[in-house]
A and B are shown apart, each in its own frame.
Chain A
Amino acid sequence: MKINTHRDLEDLRDKLRAESGGWIRVGMATCGMAAGAEAVYRLLCAEVKKRNLNVKVSRCGCLGACYAEPLVEVGVNNQPAVKYQHVDEKVALEILEKHVIGRSTAAEHIFVPEGEKTQVRLVLRNCSVVDPESIEDYIAHDGYLGLAKVLAEYNPGKVVDEMKLAGLRGRGGAGFPTWMKWNFGRTVQADQKYIICNGDEGDPGAYMDRSVLEGDPFSVLEGMAIGAFTIGATKGFLYIRAEYPLAVERVQKAIDKAYRYGFLGQNILGSNFSLDLEIRLGAGAFVCGEETALIASIEGKRGYPTPRPPYPTVKGLWEKPTVINNVETLAAVPVIFVKGGAWFASIGSATSKGTKVFALTGKVKNSGLVEVPMGTTLRQIVFEAGGGVGGGKKIKAVQTGGPSGGVIPVDYLDTPVDYETLVKLGSIMGSGGMIVMDEDDCMVDIAKFYMAFSVEESCGKCAPCRIGTFQMLHYLEKITNGEATMKDVEKLEEIARATHKASLCGLGQTAPNPVLSTLRYFRNEYIEHVQNKKCHAGKCKGLMVHHG
């Protein structure tokens, strides 16, 4: 079953494509499962078998529209595919009878996605299409063509050039150019190098990495293989949160299948390149998203960060050069080599190329995953892709970057989103959590929520972060309890700046962001809490609700 050449792969792809007839796909990522997709999938499988219908029922990853789950898509009789929303077992039967057998549609359940045209599905291209447990399905959708092309036509230097042309930057949050990281890894000399996929998605409110791992694990493996070839790594790890059991299961299956076809192991696709991949589980520590802490964790130790330099590309896992890329970054790599770096660079803004997936949640009408070109404005994301704010309320702010990010008030909604613009506004891109807040949300309370998270997750190694976050939380509690003076607000700001400057790693350096950004844009709310002892949104229990 091993595939040895680029040509073999294309032949197999064409053969698999020719075989496929009618199909029904059920969205079965965690969000779909939570809404009851499993029962629908089982029922459809059983009924199709019982009635001897000539359609293939398969699972697929996240369709991105969590608010409409469970989602089912039907493509039969050479007609355009149709998506159905809120499908339970009864609706599933109706779809079978009216659409698959009756050749019309179950019209009242059709899902009309809002704001599709704002979106460009590049990282999520396979997520609603390919069966995540079928490597054949992945191959039929041009899977592994990128790797085959790289192994046949490229040398590592040329891969770096193509990545530079593409301009892909790290999607984990900091936006470091991927080509540069790979080039550091490539040029350093060592007897052993490693590649690591960072799947320790820690921002509470971001789940695109989970969706990609659950919905399209093969793209991540293919991206890792291209990266490993470039830097000269023969061994790699996928570090995945233990809280994502479905992702772990699907990635493990994908690894096993990739070995069977010869996309992993010795002499991949008949070349001299060999790579072994293994999963390592996280164990619930936010700090392990930080590269040096993640490395310590893979080594089986406490996830303590270490000062940089030396950078992991010089001295990483077991002291060997190591390149760490985020899930979303790696999933974007294969398509760059199928369609070309120039094509990738044609999408996005001047400094940030390609697309970004956001987990659009909170007080938004249609929460779910949206993928938009870099440079799309916040307004387009919230109002076009997300359908605006529900419940007749007014939008107050958008939070990006989770506990390391900040809030962006409504006046700045027309800002095109990329790494630089968000930093300028006092927030960060982060891993892509985007939380919409309305007039019922108190900004001091939000800052307190994130600070409580950082206190809990601070690893305790360096004092500025350990003590700074604790003190900031103390002042925030004083403020929300109505016991603070304006002097305390000053202190809070002072500690925030000190913690930012003095902390050892990214966690501590960015932990003050929620405080600093709410102080920057919503200082009046702080003042109202302190001087009038009032909480406008009515969130802070220690205070009176402000009426009128």
Chain B
Amino acid sequence: MLKSKILIIDDDAAFIETTSQFLITNGYDAISTPSGASEFNCVKHEAPDLIIMDVILANRPEGVELAHCLCDDAVLKDIPIIMVASPEYVPLAQKSPNPCVKAILEKTASPQQLLQTVRTYISRRSEKHRAIVEEVTKLVKMWEGKKGSLIMILHELQNHYGYVPRDVAFVLSDILDVPMAQIYEVITFYNFFKLTAPGKNIVSLCMGTACYLKGAPQLLEEFKKVLGIKENESTKDKLFYLQIVRCLGCCGLAPVVMINGKVYGKVARADIKTILDTYREGQTA
């Protein structure tokens, strides 16, 4: 089996050296960021299974900031982070909680304690991985042995997950024995496929010709204003996702907006807030 990859981000060469030797002895693949390279890009490039990171780094951004950047990234947010800090900096790390930071350890913690923490989060991650493999295998089954089924499989995955998560795409690449590049090449070509999780309610504003003539651009302005987002974005509370669609085929009812499956016809600018509010109330009820 492939070894789990752990990335150590620190500017203390001695810590990197001892920790990686220790992890390698215990069956992991340990790497560190080359000096001078951007830590963020390194994480992106290496796609490690876990990160051990110092709170204070010589070059900006500081560990805490970097952890927030990683957490804000739709793809990298799934990588668990273990923070290590000299005792005096532990409060600094604690002051800024972050869902990706799973544990904060003192640098003086025993190697056994570090190993225990690493094992816990790696095994949680591999459980999750196993669950994904199982799910994807099930979803792919009906297309087994059929030629040219990649797009249909991606439809299945998006129906199931709401988008095509990166770890799912990795699993799919293994199962189909198709390079990841080929899968992403297809996903990014077609408008229909999403790479990040959309908000709970999908607002599709029709920008077909009839809707355009009858005021869809003004509706778009209003949606952006009320929701505080641009098209192809989700609101911060993840309640709404705004997208523009080509034509819903209800030109007789132009301008048209569809929220989830429901179509609203002859929408006026003044209606928008009321329409959106019905989905907000549904949320609190």
20 contacts between A and B (CB under 8 A): A30-B248, A30-B250, A31-B250, A34-B264, A34-B265, A66-B252, A242-B155, A243-B246, A243-B248, A282-B190, A283-B190, A285-B189, A301-B148, A302-B189, A359-B251, A361-B209, A361-B252, A363-B213, A367-B210, A449-B212
Pair B191/A361 contact, Cβ less than 8 Å: no
Not counting A283-B190, A449-B209, a sample of 18 additional A-B residue pairs whose C-beta atoms are within 8 angstroms of each other reads: A31-B249, A34-B265, A66-B250, A67-B252, A69-B252, A202-B246, A205-B208, A205-B251, A244-B249, A283-B151, A284-B246, A300-B150, A300-B151, A359-B251, A361-B252, A402-B209, A437-B213, A453-B246
Q: Known: A242-B192, A297-B151. Is A435-B209 also a contact (CB below 8 A)?
A: yes
Q: Which of B150, B210, B249 contacts A435 (CB 8 A)?
A: B210
- Determine whether B79 belongs to the interface, using a CB cutoff of 8 Å to chain A: no
Could you tell me the distance in whole angstroms from the C-beta of B157 to the nearest C-beta in chain A? 12
Residues on the A chain within 8 Å of B189, using CB? 285, 302-303, 459
What mask results when residues 253 to 285 of chain B are scored 1 for a CB within 8 Å of chain A, else 0?
110100000011100000000000000000000
What mask results when residues 139 to 170 of chain B are scored 1 for a CB within 8 Å of chain A, else 0?
00000000111111011000000000000000
Pair A283/B192 contact, Cβ less than 8 Å: yes
Scoring B150, B212, B254, B265 by chain A CB atoms within 10 A of each residue's CB, the highest score goes to B212
Of residues 178 through 219 on chain B, the ones whose CB sits less than 8 Å from some CB of chain A are: 185-186, 189-193, 207-210, 212-214
- Determine whether B122 belongs to the interface, using a CB cutoff of 8 Å to chain A: no
Residues on the A chain within 8 Å of B193, using CB? 283
Residues on the A chain within 8 Å of B253, using CB? 31, 34-35, 66, 69
- Determine whether B247 belongs to the interface, using a CB cutoff of 8 Å to chain A: yes
Pair B148/A299 contact, Cβ less than 8 Å: yes
Q: Which of A206, A280, A449 contacts B151 (CB 8 A)?
A: A280
Number of interface residues of A (CB under 8 A): 51
- Determine whether A165 belongs to the interface, using a CB cutoff of 8 Å to chain B: no
Scoring B154, B249, B250 by chain A CB atoms within 10 A of each residue's CB, the highest score goes to B249
Bound complex: CA of A361 vs CA of B210, how far in Å? 6
Bound complex: CA of A305 vs CA of B190, how far in Å? 14
Of residues 414 through 463 on chain A, the ones whose CB sits less than 8 Å from some CB of chain B are: 433, 435, 437, 441, 449-450, 453, 459
Bound complex: CA of A252 vs CA of B1, how far in Å? 42
Pair B155/A367 contact, Cβ less than 8 Å: no
- Determine whether B103 belongs to the interface, using a CB cutoff of 8 Å to chain A: no
Residues on the B chain within 8 Å of A284, using CB? 190-192, 246
Residues on the A chain within 8 Å of B213, using CB? 362-363, 435, 437, 441
Could you tell me the distance in whole angstroms from the C-beta of B161 to the nearest C-beta in chain A? 16
Residues on the B chain within 8 Å of A144, using CB? none
- Determine whether A368 belongs to the interface, using a CB cutoff of 8 Å to chain B: yes
- Determine whether A399 belongs to the interface, using a CB cutoff of 8 Å to chain B: yes
Partner-A contacts on B (CB < 8 A): 147-152, 154-155, 185-186, 189-193, 207-210, 212-214, 245-254, 256, 263-265
In the complex, number of A-B residue pairs with CB atoms less than 8 Å apart: 124
Bound complex: CA of A548 vs CA of B185, how far in Å? 54
Bound complex: CA of A243 vs CA of B261, how far in Å? 11
Could you tell me the distance in whole angstroms from the C-beta of B16 to the nearest C-beta in chain A? 42
What mask results when residues 288 to 329 of chain A are scored 1 for a CB within 8 Å of chain B, else 0?
000000000111111100000000000000100000000000
Pair A362/B210 contact, Cβ less than 8 Å: yes
Identify the closest chain A residue to B264 (Cβ).
Answer: A34
Identify the closest chain B residue to A304 (Cβ).
Answer: B189
Pair B263/A34 contact, Cβ less than 8 Å: yes
Identify the closest chain A residue to B247 (Cβ).
Answer: A204
Could you tell me the distance in whole angstroms from the C-beta of A78 to the nearest C-beta in chain B? 33
Bound complex: CA of A437 vs CA of B214, how far in Å? 10
Residues on the B chain within 8 Å of A281, using CB? 151-152, 155
Could you tell me the distance in whole angstroms from the C-beta of B14 to the nearest C-beta in chain A? 49
Identify the closest chain B residue to A359 (Cβ).
Answer: B251
Could you tell me the distance in whole angstroms from the C-beta of B237 to the nearest C-beta in chain A? 27
Pair A368/B186 contact, Cβ less than 8 Å: no
Pair A34/B209 contact, Cβ less than 8 Å: no
Pair B150/A204 contact, Cβ less than 8 Å: no
Q: Known: A205-B208, A283-B192. Is A66-B251 also a contact (CB below 8 A)?
A: yes
Could you tell me the distance in whole angstroms from the C-beta of A348 to the nearest C-beta in chain B? 25
- Determine whether A500 belongs to the interface, using a CB cutoff of 8 Å to chain B: no
Q: Known: A30-B248, A242-B155. Is A362-B192 also a contact (CB below 8 A)?
A: no
Residues on the B chain within 8 Å of A206, using CB? 247
Pair A31/B252 contact, Cβ less than 8 Å: yes
Q: Which of A34, A35, A205, A297 contacts B247 (CB 8 A)?
A: A205
Q: Known: A66-B252, A243-B246, A435-B209. Is A301-B190 also a contact (CB below 8 A)?
A: no
Q: Which of A33, A300, A301, A453 contacts B263 (CB 8 A)?
A: A33
Residues on the B chain within 8 Å of A453, using CB? 246
- Determine whether A207 belongs to the interface, using a CB cutoff of 8 Å to chain B: yes
Bound complex: CA of A305 vs CA of B254, how far in Å? 33
Pair B252/A367 contact, Cβ less than 8 Å: yes
Pair A318/B249 contact, Cβ less than 8 Å: no
- Determine whether A25 belongs to the interface, using a CB cutoff of 8 Å to chain B: no
Q: Which of B186, B191, B256 contacts A300 (CB 8 A)?
A: B186
Bound complex: CA of A30 vs CA of B250, how far in Å? 7
Residues on the B chain within 8 Å of A30, using CB? 248-250, 263
Scoring B186, B213, B252 by chain A CB atoms within 10 A of each residue's CB, the highest score goes to B252
Residues on the B chain within 8 Å of A203, using CB? 247
Bound complex: CA of A437 vs CA of B150, how far in Å? 42
Residues on the A chain within 8 Å of B154, using CB? 283
- Determine whether A286 belongs to the interface, using a CB cutoff of 8 Å to chain B: yes
Bound complex: CA of A470 vs CA of B124, how far in Å? 48
Q: Which of B191, B246, B264 contacts A204 (CB 8 A)?
A: B246
Bound complex: CA of A399 vs CA of B264, how far in Å? 25
Bound complex: CA of A210 vs CA of B246, how far in Å? 14
Residues on the A chain within 8 Å of B245, using CB? 243
Bound complex: CA of A158 vs CA of B28, how far in Å? 72
Identify the closest chain B residue to A278 (Cβ).
Answer: B146
Could you tell me the distance in whole angstroms from the C-beta of A532 to the nearest C-beta in chain B? 24
Could you tell me the distance in whole angstroms from the C-beta of B250 to the nearest C-beta in chain A? 5
Q: Known: A31-B249, A207-B249. Is A399-B151 also a contact (CB below 8 A)?
A: no
Could you tell me the distance in whole angstroms from the C-beta of A303 to the nearest C-beta in chain B? 7
Residues on the A chain within 8 Å of B149, using CB? 300
Bound complex: CA of A282 vs CA of B193, how far in Å? 11
Bound complex: CA of A207 vs CA of B209, how far in Å? 12
Pair A205/B263 contact, Cβ less than 8 Å: no
Residues on the A chain within 8 Å of B155, using CB? 242, 281, 283
Bound complex: CA of A298 vs CA of B152, how far in Å? 9
Pair A361/B254 contact, Cβ less than 8 Å: yes
Residues on the A chain within 8 Å of B250, using CB? 30-31, 34, 66, 207
Could you tell me the distance in whole angstroms from the C-beta of A486 to the nearest C-beta in chain B? 28
Residues on the B chain within 8 Å of A202, using CB? 246
Bound complex: CA of A437 vs CA of B210, how far in Å? 9
Could you tell me the distance in whole angstroms from the C-beta of A473 to the nearest C-beta in chain B? 15
Of residues 204 through 228 on chain A, the ones whose CB sits less than 8 Å from some CB of chain B are: 204-207, 210-211
Q: Known: A33-B263, A204-B207, A302-B186. Is A361-B251 also a contact (CB below 8 A)?
A: yes
Residues on the A chain within 8 Å of B192, using CB? 242-243, 282-284
Bound complex: CA of A367 vs CA of B253, how far in Å? 8
Bound complex: CA of A301 vs CA of B150, how far in Å? 8
Identify the closest chain B residue to A402 (Cβ).
Answer: B209
Residues on the A chain within 8 Å of B252, using CB? 31, 66-67, 69, 361, 367-368
